[in-house]
Amino acid sequence: MKLVGGLERWIRNASWLTLGALLIAVLIATPVISVFSNVFTGGTSATWSHLASTVLPEFIRNTVILCVGVGLGVSSIGITTAWLTTMLDFPGRRFFQWALVLPLAVPAYVMAYVYTDFLQFVGPVQSWLRETFGWRAGQYWFPDVRTPGGAVAMFMFVLYPYVYLLARTAFLERASGMLEAGRSLGLGPWGCFFRVSLPLARPAVIAGTALALMETLADFGTVAYFGVQTFTTGIYQAWFSLGDRIAAAQLSAALLAFVVLVLVLEHASRGRARFNNTSRQQTTPVPIRLSPLVGVMAALACFMPLLLGFLLPAGLLLDMAFSEGDVQFGPRFLHLARNSFVLASVTSVLAVVLAVVLAYAARLARSRLPQMFNRVVGLGYAVPGSVIAVGVLIPVTRLDNQLAAWWQDVFGVNPGLLLTGGIAALVYAYLTRFLAVALHTVDSSLGKITSSMDDASRCLGLGRFGTLRRVHVPILRGSLLTAGLLVFVDVMKELPATLVMRPFNFDTLATQAHTLAADERLTEASTAALTIVAVGLLPMFLISRQIVSGRRRTLEEAEV
């Protein structure tokens, strides 16, 4: 009773912003709670025992293979390219500094479609080999891309920029004074790298690797197209093939356990170690000029990930999209593009508005509760789209049926499914998944505005809402646009949640590309895939611009 009474007093005294933040946090947490609430639900023993005796061991094995392979791959490429572009001077270094982030614009499932067409038996590579050497089928061995190893390669070349961005920032912030101290103690370039820079950058590398692993665990298009059985494909099969929603929820809980394990390992790897830069020198490190031969090798090491992760896939997509006889740029394409843009636009606008409410509530609150709400919202990005789809559909479908029954009792007409029959439930799933992206952008920018501006606005007679509307929003205009753009692109690329939750006869560019690719109509799928990549380039150019401008500011400060 005391707890209930205390909660009532807190609600009475809380501001509308805090109550709004509480409501948003509850809505975002509901899908995950829904998934876990079905873990011990009975009635699915037959389905679960069938999965456990047939495909569950394969799910676990393939998931572990993907996590280990992708973790090693992205960390190796990200650390190498970050070190080369930060500490060494070679031809093309300034170009690679920003261009190495471009593979993030290419969804992994698009990479899978492109490389399958490029490397298959009738593709250009094997056809060229047979024509050049006179080989016939069965006379030579060629690696099969549609394997767990091929999936690891797709994820590796698409997701390494996560490690590259964070590791490069760590090298820039912690390199100058520490490296000089290491050199004064007799360490050479390799010794400084392994004994100074790399240990200091370990938190950034692990954080970037954890982001890449969460994206890997959340993927559906790549593993489904390659025929690699994982928990994500199992969730889809349990929902649609077996018709067992409880089993799908239990598989979702198992997949979520893998995500939690990744986060726990990332936190435990730090231990009690601290990675502070105690050097008083904050100048930018002076790159070491390489000899011509070594410089060419360094440029090649940076060029290969860019080639395999962006240039080659984009070029192949352009070639397929504009090949003769392709009629995908027609009314059907415009309809799909409209669906994708409507979903992305509605979600991005709502995400920005909700992010402003959450960030502003945390700024004005006298307690830590709004910060706790923001952490709950931030966890949504770590949850795979397929898990969120299952967690949204189970409670929303029940609510939908109750609303339809109530409507029929009151008005005598069956309205159908109001929420799941349209895009409302799908937008809710997108917000659960991507609201954290907008919140992080808005919150970091709002934190740069001094509290004295709030005090000055109140002295001029403005209230909380007036201060937000006339002071903060104009200052945050650029950050709000960036947050909306990031959410827009993420929604355009999202595949598993869209496949599970889209209304009947409602397709998007992502689902169309997946459907056509699954039917081996790769050329026809290229137009939708190319559009997704083109839209994804917009935030990548913004990030690249920030990298270049940040580098210039650092150099100017060093000169001063």
**What distances in angstroms separate CA 297 from CA 79, 205, 291, 323, one per listed residue?**
16, 24, 10, 35
- The reported pLDDT for the residue numbered 162 is 87
| pTM of the predicted protein model | 0.80
Tell which residue, 191, 219, 200, 216, has the closest CA to residue 82.
200
Mean pLDDT computed over 131-160:
88
Mean pLDDT for all residues in the chain: 78
Stretch 93-104: mean pLDDT: 88
pLDDT confidence of 186, banded at 50, 70, 90? low
Closest CA to 37 of 253, 232, 240: 253
**298 compared with 260, residue with greater pLDDT:** 298
Question: Residue 163 is encoded by which pair of tokens?
Answer: 């490690």
Per-residue pLDDT reduced to its tens digit, 502-545: 888 888 888 888 888 887 777 778 888 888 888 888 777 776 66
Cβ 155 vs Cβ 185: under 8 Å: no
What's CA 552's distance to the chain center, in Å? 28
Question: In whole angstroms, what is the distance from residue 450 CA to residue 368 CA?
Answer: 19
Question: What are the structural domains, with CATH classification, of the chain?
Answer: 14-43+324-518 (1.10.3720.10), 66-321 (1.10.3720.10)
Supply the Cα-derived Rg of the chain in whole angstroms.
26
Closest CA relative to residue 528, chosen from 309, 305, 324, 341: 341
- Residue 322, φ and ψ in degrees, nearest 5: -110, 20
Task: Please give the biggest Cα pair distance in the chain.
Answer: 86
Burial (Cβ within 10 Å: 0-12, 13-18, ≥19) of residue 49: exposed
Of 538, 529, 509, 105, which Cα lies nearest the Cα of 337?
509
The secondary structure of 310-366 as a DSSP string is IIHHHHHHHHHHTSTT---SSHHHHHHHHHHHHHHHHHHHHHHHHHHHHHHHHHH-S
> Residue 102 belongs to what H/E stretch?
none
| Residue-level pLDDT at 311 | 92
**Per-residue pLDDT for 158 more than 50?**
yes
